[in-house]
Structure 1
Amino acid sequence: MTEPRTSLGRIGVWAAGFDTLPIAAVRQAAAAIEDLGYGTLWLHETAGREAMAQAGILLSDTRQMVVATGGADIYARDAVATSAAQRTLDEAFPGRFLLGLWESHPSLAEDVRGHRFGPPLATMRDYLDALDGAPFRPAPGPGAARRVIMAMDRGMLELAGERTSGAQLLGMPVEYTRIARAVLGPSALLAVTQFAILDEDGSRATELARSTAAAALPNRRALLEDLGYEEVDSLGDRVVDALVAYGSTEDVANRVARHFDAGADHVSLHVVHTTPGTAPVLQWQRLAEQLIP
């Protein structure tokens, strides 16, 4: 099976807003992303569409682009179901599906799904054990199933390096990319997702960047403090700038380049915009012109 460090391409799209769109618009957006030259489309899973079903739809609607679950929730289905879904997609679309897992959040696991939220690292390790032992009646395809873990701390990074193809980082500072590469070593996949805002109106871009950083902060507070950021909750310019790339396409491209310099193999763009219920196709196009040869 194609090695994930090369098959993803260098630049991808994190499709943050797909759950707000009707499925017909999602399918059109996926086709547009591929036509613009992006190598991978990343899907997240919270309380919207089921990750594996949506991945299968979009793999069918595209030709060669990789579809990755940037965070298939480990509480959304048991490991046997996840393993069977992954192997089914691998069999139908060889080399084009990447399973990314995330440890969920207490409110999603308990209030939405009715499970008891366990210690994230131990729960993820147990889930990987169950994936490894899951049966699959059809003959498996060539090569091992490809998995990555969304790693929000060092423990998850270490587990990703030990047990999977690598790690996926969502909305983290460049300093964390550098740490992740050191923890993972030189051969593991390191995929990074960057929050990006295209708006050359300085005050408007800053306001949107600050609200984006505020929404992202709860899951990143401890990490930012460990990296030496002070008074994180005040959302000063240094904290906002660390999490969000905003301004022109050149500003975003410079941040992407810094992630590559810090050791990333692949960077996907989580475009934040102010038009709800629409896909940011124009922004994807402008960024593709800047970033994709």
Structure 2
Amino acid sequence: MSGRPSLGRIGIWAGDIDNYSATEVRRAVTEIEDLGYGTLWFPEATGREAMAQAGMLLSATRRITVATGTASIYARDAVSTAAAQRTLEEAFPGRFLLGLGVSHPALVEDVRGHRFGPPLAAMRDYLDALDNAPFGPPAPPAAPHRVLAALGPGMLKLAGRRAWGAHPLGMPVQHTKHARTLLGPHALLAVTQLAILDLDRTAADLARTHVAAALPNRRVLLHDLGFQDLDALNDELVDALVVRGTIDDIAHRVHQHLDVGADHVSLHLLTTTPHVPPLRQWRALAANLLP
């Protein structure tokens, strides 16, 4: 199919983007683009609205693809999402990628006031509504593309059938290999790798904190991949989910994902100062990972 955004092999997952001011966001995305990264991904939780933020990022740049890593299907009805996607595609052809996710029960029910439905059924219904949504202005030459934030086998298979592909976040290389098998050879597999460019004790504590936060909705999947005694947060588990160390260590993990079937790897750089864009780390990695 034509009109697919060009993601490049390496991108940035700006997981802390809602901690930055609008001015810092524009400076950060400009820096990421100038460094040569192919795609900027960002989440949606309780910060900026995803489509508005995408418009801000696209307006500040010229080339880079902007992707909503986890735009919540509970944040907008399907008609609004389809209209926003087509509007951004019309204004910035081939530079916007819609990534959809089912979010988490607490965010959906306690924050947004909706009822959290069975994830697969909810996503199927939402995709059906997207496909049937009306749109008044002239349509783009090709239907805009979408990916699903998918971890489990059911959502991965759905992503292979009903989307361009899948975007798993924060999973080990073993999961990437399994995801490729479930998706088949042609669907996009764009994974996000958590990374810390450091080896000191602070880095170890930071990695373990993030793994603990990520564990609840990954527990069964990690157990099925062979990880045991998950609550102990042992080094094997933490190192599998968060690569920490030198530039070479991070580069090696990126190539491991690519070697087992990933088409694209975005890096989420974890730091002890999440309110400050990690410009130093982005620059150092770009100098060694990008052509």
TM-score, normalised via structure 2 length? 0.98
For 1:234 and 1:177, how far apart are their aligned partners in 2? Answer: 23
Alignment of 1:290 onto 2:272: no
1:51-62 to structure 2, matched below 5 A, reads: 51-62=50-61
| Residue identity matched to 1:97 | F
Alignment of 1:65 onto 2:64: yes
Deviation at 1:2, TM superposition (A): 3.1
For 1:83 and 1:3, how far apart are their aligned partners in 2? Answer: 16
For 1:143 and 1:58, how far apart are their aligned partners in 2? Answer: 22
Q: Secondary structure at the match of 1:70?
A: strand
Query: What are the ranges of 5 or more consecutive residues in structure 2 without an aligned counterpart?
Result: none
Q: Secondary structure at the match of 2:159?
A: helix
Deviation at 1:277, TM superposition (A): 1.5
Task: Report what 1:240 is aligned to.
Answer: 238
For 1:96 and 1:21, how far apart are their aligned partners in 2? Answer: 22
Task: Report what 1:2 is aligned to.
Answer: 3
For 1:56 and 1:282, how far apart are their aligned partners in 2? Answer: 26
Task: Report what 2:225 is aligned to.
Answer: 227
1:201-280 to structure 2, matched below 5 A, reads: 201=200, 203-280=201-278
- 1:162-185 deviation digits (Å, cap 9, x = unpaired): 100000010001011001111111
Deviation at 1:290, TM superposition (A): 1.4
- 1:164-209 deviation digits (Å, cap 9, x = unpaired): 00000100010110011111111111000000001133x2322221
1:147-226 to structure 2, matched below 5 A, reads: 147-201=146-200, 203-226=201-224
Output the aligned Cα RMSD. Answer: 0.9
| Residue identity matched to 1:286 | A
Query: What are the ranges of 5 or more consecutive residues in structure 1 without an aligned counterpart?
Result: none
- 1:121-140 deviation digits (Å, cap 9, x = unpaired): 00000000000000000111
Alignment of 1:115 onto 2:104: no
Q: How many residues align?
A: 290
For 1:48 and 1:243, how far apart are their aligned partners in 2? Answer: 25
For 1:285 and 1:258, how far apart are their aligned partners in 2? Answer: 21
| Residue identity matched to 2:230 | V
Q: Secondary structure at the match of 1:62?
A: coil
Deviation at 1:91, TM superposition (A): 0.5
Q: Secondary structure at the match of 1:218?
A: coil
| Residue identity matched to 1:180 | A
For 2:174 and 2:262, how far apart are their aligned partners in 1? Answer: 11
Deviation at 1:276, TM superposition (A): 3.3
Deviation at 1:269, TM superposition (A): 0.3
1:88-127 to structure 2, matched below 5 A, reads: 88-127=87-126
- 1:18-51 deviation digits (Å, cap 9, x = unpaired): 1111111111101010011100000100010000
Task: Report what 1:142 is aligned to.
Answer: 141
| Residue identity matched to 2:282 | W
Deviation at 1:79, TM superposition (A): 0.3
For 1:95 and 1:66, how far apart are their aligned partners in 2? Answer: 8
Deviation at 1:216, TM superposition (A): 1.3
Task: Report what 2:75 is aligned to.
Answer: 76
For 1:288 and 1:209, how far apart are their aligned partners in 2? Answer: 22
| Residue identity matched to 2:215 | L
| Residue identity matched to 2:168 | L
For 2:290 and 2:68, how far apart are their aligned partners in 1? Answer: 22
Cα contact 2:3–2:144 (8 A) shared by 1: no
Q: Secondary structure at the match of 2:190?
A: strand
- 1:187-234 deviation digits (Å, cap 9, x = unpaired): 111000000001133x23222211121121112111101111100111
For 2:247 and 2:271, how far apart are their aligned partners in 1? Answer: 14
For 2:63 and 2:48, how far apart are their aligned partners in 1? Answer: 22
TM-score, normalised via structure 1 length? 0.97
Q: Secondary structure at the match of 1:278?
A: coil
Cα contact 2:151–2:168 (8 A) shared by 1: yes
